[in-house]
Structures are given as structure tokens and as C-alpha cells.
Structure 1
Amino acid sequence: MAASFASGSSPPLRPENIVHQTISTSTRPAPSASSKSNTMNRILSFVLAAIVGMLAGCASRPSFEPEPEVATPAPSAATPWAGGTIQHPRSRWTPVAWTELPGFNDDPLFEAWNAWIKSCERPGPIFAPLCSEVRRLSIGSGEEQRAWMQQRLQPYRVDALQGPTEGLLTSYYEPVFEGSRLPSATFVAPLYRPPATLGQRKPWYTRQEMDTLPEARAALAGREIIWLADPVDALVLQIQGSGRIRVTEPDGRQRVVRLAFAGTNDQPYKSVGRWLLDQGLIRDASWPGIKAWIAQNPQRVNELLWANPRMVFFREEALPELDAMFGPRGAQGVALTPGRSIAVDPGSIPYGTPVWLASPGPLVPLQKLVMAQDTGSAITGAVRADYFAGWGVEAGELAGRLKQPLKLWVLWPK
């Protein structure tokens, strides 16, 4: 997730010019989805009501560190309150009218349907019965999709069990860098596969020990996947947990691959921005401020990097053309959709839940349908979301600056 470099979470990245990225696809009118009989609606409503207390739960982990082959969370209990209110471990849901959702009639819902169909690849037990209808409506009009949602779903306002009802929205993204299979005078910063001895020592060596101890260096020998030109870019990719690399192969061919999270050294994450602030070296802990300090102090780059003992290891994934429009897999186990996927606290909102998100700005006013498909160690609390901005420089600029108030409504089957 992206917040200030001075925070204990993920730092801001390349925030010079903000461009909001979402996937835009064209739509065309189509016949509305076929309706169920009244009898079937009553039966399905009864079944959904019977299992509404069974919600997905999962331990929190960094959204920028997606675990491989994450299983769909098993249902856990949620307690219905009087008047239809539902309590979760970290939030309370209060039923509201559709008119309470700001901008509901204005959102181009077909953009969100890409993310919803992805969720239907690994749906939880609550939403699985609706997936056939969701797929049929992928060719429906916005009016048909809106009418279906109002017929089949009930909006609930998400509130904290205690404290303010307004929360925090931040953002994260997938970096894009140039890389090489072999080291050279230009490409000097390696990105590693997990070492064979990773599970034999917990925590494993720190970042500094990996650079200086002979036994740590020996364990990493031959584990290099790709080399980057800038060790600070390598740190950025490790913080975000995945990235796209335009790699030059030994035969001179170029292609784009994805490096996905495959493990860590189990050392704590420490903010390099916080380190710079604590030492009085900068007053501006934004990415431009940190870059300016690095340019003036190139001899201290290792000292800066070693301030964060955490190291992330990767695995390489092919990036087929059809998959290039989606991001890495989130905690739900499905590919993220730019502008329509968020990371949440699963103790507040289960994975695969459609969520109405509203944030007034000041950077980017947002009122839209998104899907809860990821989580993060810093994404905790009832009204908390990390917005997947996409990939590349422009997405990084947005992710680096987005930090603004938030309100959330979950859309739950009736």
C-alpha cells in the first residue's frame, strides 16, 4: 500500500504528475439477463440469508506481498444484530437505502464487471450463487447492471466498532523497469529467487548481511533472476511486491515478464523515509525529496538501503498478451484490475465482496464500484482501503500521492 515514506507502511513512488489509470472497455446494448422465478428468488434469498453469517477470514499480510496460491478464505462467523445490522471482528455493517451511495447512478459499471468476473474465478460461498448472473450481465448495459444490483444486493454502510466513521484511502501499483538476465556495468542490482536455506533460519539474514556476510552471499549465489540498473529501483519493486520487467535476454531478444512475490527474509519492514527524517537529513519524505537526497549523497545509498532490513524474493511469471491488462494476483487469488480492485482488512470485509467506495479528494475524487480482492499488513481497520492504481510511472505517481478520507459500503446478497 502507498502512504508517506515517513509512515511505517509502503512509501510514495514517483509522484510528479498524477494520472488516474483505469481499464476502459467499450460496451454495447444487449438484452437484459433472464430473471429467476419468484419461487427461486425466495429459495435463493432464504439460502443466502441462512449463510450470511459465514464470512471469509484470513490473516493480514502486505498487499504488496501477494502470497503464491492463496486459498479462498474459509467462512467465519459474523453476528447479526437487531434491525439487520451485522457485526464483524473489526466492523459493523448497517443496512441503508441505495440512495445513500454517492454517485451510484453515474458510475460506468461495465468497467467494474472485469474485476467482478475475476472474483468469480475464486468466489466465496456467499457470492458463488450469483456468478452465473454476473457473467451474463458482462454484456448488459449499465442500466441493466444497476437494476440487477438493486434487485439482488443490499447496501450496508461500513462503520468502525468504535471511533470515527470516516476512514483512509491510499494506493499501490506495479512498477515497470528495464532489466537484464546478466550483470553488467549498467545492470548492477540483482533480484533473487528464494534461497534454498530460507526455511532453515527464521528470520533469515538482513539486507545488510546479504551484502556483507560470506555465508549469506554464498546462499544467494546463482539465485539471481534479473538485474536492474538502480538498487533503489530494486528496493521499490521489493516494497510493492511485484513488477513488470522489460528484460533483455542473452541472445538480445527483449520481452516483458512479471516478477511476483515468492517470500521474504522475515525481517521487519522499516521505512527509509522515516530513517532519513529521524536523522534530520531531509524534511520532505516524499519520493522526490528522497531522490534529491540520493543524488546529493550517492556514497550513502547502501546505508539508506540497509536501514530497511526486509528483503523480498521473487518468482518469474510469463505475461501473456491477454493477461497484460490485469495486475498481479491479490490475496483472493485472482488478478487485480486497475482502478477497480482494492486491498481491505479481511476482518472487516471478506474477499470477493463488491464495495461502493467514496472519497472526496483532495487529490482524486472517487465514487465507484470496486472489488475487495487483496489485503495488506498496514491495511487494518473497518474503513480502510488500498486502491490498485495499475502499473508504470503514471500509476506510481498516483499511488505515491493518494492519501485521503474514505467511506465504504458493502453490497451483500439479499
Structure 2
Amino acid sequence: YDRTAIESGALDGRGLEIAYAADAAEFFFLQIQGSGRLRLPDGGIMRIGYDTQNGRGYVGIGKLLLDRGALQRGQASMQGILDYLRADPVRGAAVMNENPSWVFFRELTGPGPLGALGVPVTGRASVAADPKYVPLGAPVFLSLDRAEPGGLWIAQDTGGAIKGANRFDSFWGAGDEARAIAGGMSGRGSALLLLPRASIARLIPAP
């Protein structure tokens, strides 16, 4: 089922729910991020992480809104898109449904959130990458047109929106500061993949 079908009740009655979100737009971004913390009605916190996905391709709504002129350059940050979605909930729901991908979560009770390697990711140290081009576990040195993400990171995760040799998603951890940085994070530059010489020799045969 795609997002529209699931939102319309295609999976109702199967007992798959672990919690209910009070804000549809926040939940949409939680699915993009792949993990997060839920504040429960009693004040407690539930940590959730990626479990599986519905098999549908990811469509970035930020680009859709830019292409249609609904947002201008500089407005397509996470907060800018959230403001647009919340301004008209019916319109916002229709836009979110244009991304057919749906991420399912599970409750995390141990260390986490977990990356694609099955080990916890670390704020300001772990990035998601496309494993077709970047081996998971490899160090990556980022040099971008903004200071925050520059430096050495470890490729520990993947993502439906992370496709291509030079596409990375940096993990900033939890809390207001991490949210502010991650929500506005977009940079251009270069990435250097650091590999042992023997590995490079196997990957790139001699002429």
C-alpha cells in the first residue's frame, strides 16, 4: 500500500499501532528522519526507530513545492515546509500523499537509534550514505560550503532519499539544537572516501 492508502485505513484493524501522532506533519518528517522520540500523554518518552518500509519510492516534497513556486529558495527548510503543511491541513495532507513512501517504526528499549549496520548511530559523527557507492562503516571526509558538517564522519546508515555517490545525510542527535541544525541542513561540496589501499586495489583493477 502507498501512503494515501495507509492514511485512508488500508492497514486498520491489524494491531500494528504502537502510538498515535498528534501532528501529521511532524510524523511525516519523523518518517524521513527514521528515528525519534515521542512525548507521551503522561509525560513519558518513547524512543522509536526504523523497522521497515512499504517498498514505494521516496518523493521529496520540498522539491515539488519549489518547482511549483509554492515555496521560494531559502524557505524549503524543514521548518519552512512544516509551516506550509500546517497552514492548510487539507492541502498539506494532499502534498504529503505525493510521497508514496511509508516508514514503519518499532519501539527502542536499548541503545539507539540504530543504523543500517545494526549498531547505534552517534550525533555529529554518523552519516547515511548510498551503499552502492559508499561502503557502510567507511570514514568519509566532508568539505562543504557551510561549516557545521565539515570534517570526518562514519557511514553507518542508509535512507530512501539518500541516492547517489555524493549524497549524505548527517545525524545530529536529539534535542532542540540538533533539530535546528538538522532542519536547515543543506550544503554543497565534496566528499572524500577513506579506504585502505588494498581495498581500493580490489575495487579499481589495474589497467
Instruction: Work out whether the TM-score is over 0.5.
Output: yes
Aligned in 2, Cα 1:222/1:337: closer, same or farther, shift over 3 Å? same
| Cα distance in structure 2, aligned partners of 1:372 and 1:365 | 13
Contact persistence 2:137–2:156 (CA under 8 A): yes
What corresponds to 2:201 in structure 1?
none
The letter of the residue matching 2:150 is L
Give the C-alpha shift of residue 234 in structure 1.
Answer: 0.9
Identity fraction in percent: 36
Q: Tell me how far 1:371 sits from its aligned partner.
A: 2.4
**Residue in structure 1 matching 2:50, options 261, 265, 270:** 261
1:388 aligns with 2:171: yes
The CA deviation string for residues 138-189 of structure 1, in whole angstroms up to 9 with x for no partner, is xxxxxxxxxxxxxxxxxxxxxxxxxxxxxxxxxxxxxxxxxxxxxxxxxxxx
Give the alignment partner of residue 226 of structure 1, picking from 13, 19, 35: 19
Sort the Cα spacing of 1:296 and 1:261 in 2 relative to 1 into closer, same or farther, 3 A.
closer
2:4 partner amino acid: Q
Counterpart selection for 2:103 from 307, 312, 334? 312
- Tell me if structure 2 keeps the 8 A contact 1:272–1:308: yes
How big is the shift at 1:256?
2.4
Aligned to 1:343: 128
Name the structure 2 match of 1:364. Answer: 148
1:389 partner SS? coil
Map of 1:19 onto structure 2: none
Decide which of 397, 401, 413 is 2:180's aligned counterpart. Answer: 397
C-alpha distance in 1 between matches for 2:167 and 2:84: 32
Matched, 1:276 2:59: no
Residues 1:238 and 2:31 aligned together: yes
**Does the CA-based 8 Å contact 2:3-2:101 persist in structure 1?**
yes
TM-score (norm 1): 0.42
Kept in 1, the 8 Å contact 2:127–2:171? The answer is yes
Q: Which one-letter code corresponds to 1:330 in the other structure? A: G
Distance in 2 (CA, whole Å) between partners of 1:397 and 1:241 is: 17
Unmatched runs of 5 consecutive residues or more in structure 1: 1-204
Rate the CA distance shift 1:288–1:206 in 2: closer, same or farther, 3 A. same
Secondary structure at the aligned position of 1:274 is classed as helix
Contact 1:356 1:411 in 2 (8 A): no
- Pair 256,209 (structure 1): closer, same or farther in 2 beyond 3 Å: same
Answer whether contact 2:84 2:92 (CA < 8 A) is retained.
no
Equivalent residue, structure 1, for 2:91:
300
Structure 1 residue 271: Cα displacement: 1.9
Give the Cα–Cα distance (whole angstroms) in 1 for the partners of residues 167 and 7 of structure 2: 36
| Distance (whole Å) between structure 1 residues aligned to residue 154 and residue 23 of structure 2 | 34
**Separation in 1, partners of 2:36, 2:115:** 13
Q: Which runs of 5+ in 2 are unaligned?
A: 199-207
Q: Distance in 1 between matches of 2:57 and 2:78?
A: 21
> Is residue 2:42 matched to residue 1:208?
no
Question: Which residue does the alignment assign to 2:204?
Answer: none
- In the alignment, the residues of structure 2 paired with residue 360 and residue 279 of structure 1 have an alpha-carbon distance, to the nearest angstrom, of 28
Q: Which has the higher contact order (CA 8 A, sep 6+)?
A: 1
The corresponding residue for 1:162 is none
**Moved beyond 6 Å, runs of 4+:** none
1:374, distance to aligned residue in structure 2 (A): 2.0
Distance in 2 (CA, whole Å) between partners of 1:394 and 1:208 is 33
Q: Deviations over 1:298-349 (max 9, x none)?
A: 3423212222222111111215xxx3xxx41112221111112222333444
**Residue 286 (str. 1) matches residue 77 (str. 2):** yes
Return the structure number with greater strand share.
Answer: 1
Q: CA deviation at 1:269?
A: 1.6
Equivalent pairs counted in the alignment come to 194
